[in-house]
Homo-oligomer: A and B are copies of this chain.
Amino acid sequence: MTLSPTPRTQLRRKRDRQADDVRVLHAVLDEALLCHLGLVDDDGAPLVLPTMHARVGDVVYVHGSSGAASLARDREVCLTVTLLDGLVLARSVFSHSANYRSAVVRGRARRVTDPDEHERALEAVVEHLTPGQWDHARRPDRREAAATAVLALDLAEASVKVRQGPPGDPELVEQGDHRWAGVIPVRTVLGTPEPCPALPADVPVPEHVARWSVARP
């Protein structure tokens, strides 16, 4: 299955960096712990807010503040996710770059109001951030659910861009430029879980939390 970019998600430059495979889009959305949601405020100015998300099939659910959710309702949004994989140190300043995978999803966000879909979306976000955590934690009651805004955004209009590999100016080596060039890898890692100070001392770290900390990286 391939992405079908509309004119505005078709990259205008560096088209070789556009990955046509929807699996890459899904993988980027699934790996990222964080997304940035772009909105246009009442004065027509852009506003970009960090938040959490989860993908379920061809929909991405976004945990929104009530403010962001009201700004996003019935308006276009842009959800962008970026995984930084490396700093690309070339010979020439001009060829410096970054290795990354990024996804851009555009469209109208839908405020999730159906109670079942709302709960499934919250479950997806919690499970996305720490697999196994939904069954561990206390589920939201009706009041808590009502206070948690969730937006749904269809993946119909999405693009994904990937840059990997060494610096782009190897021809300079043949021209006698032997200064060092290469890539410094960048990774997001999870550390040792820190228990809440209010917790009784004899409560062990659950297996799903310990496993997650080890699994990433």
Chain A positions near chain B (C-beta within 8 angstroms): 8, 12-13, 33-34, 36-41, 43-50, 52, 65-67, 76-80, 82, 84, 86-87, 89-94, 96, 98, 100, 102, 104, 106, 122, 126, 129-130, 133-134, 136-140, 144, 147-148, 166-167, 170, 172-173, 177-200, 203-206, 209, 212-213
Interface of A is mostly: mixed
How many copies altogether?
Answer: 2
Asked if B50 and A179 sit within 8 Å, CB to CB, the answer is: no
Asked if A45 and B78 sit within 8 Å, CB to CB, the answer is: yes
Contacts of A37 in B (CB 8 A): 48
Contacts of A178 in B (CB 8 A): 199-200, 203
Closest to A173 in B: B198
- Interchain residue pairs A-B with the least CB separation, the first 6: A185-B191, A170-B198, A38-B46, A38-B48, A94-B144, A45-B76
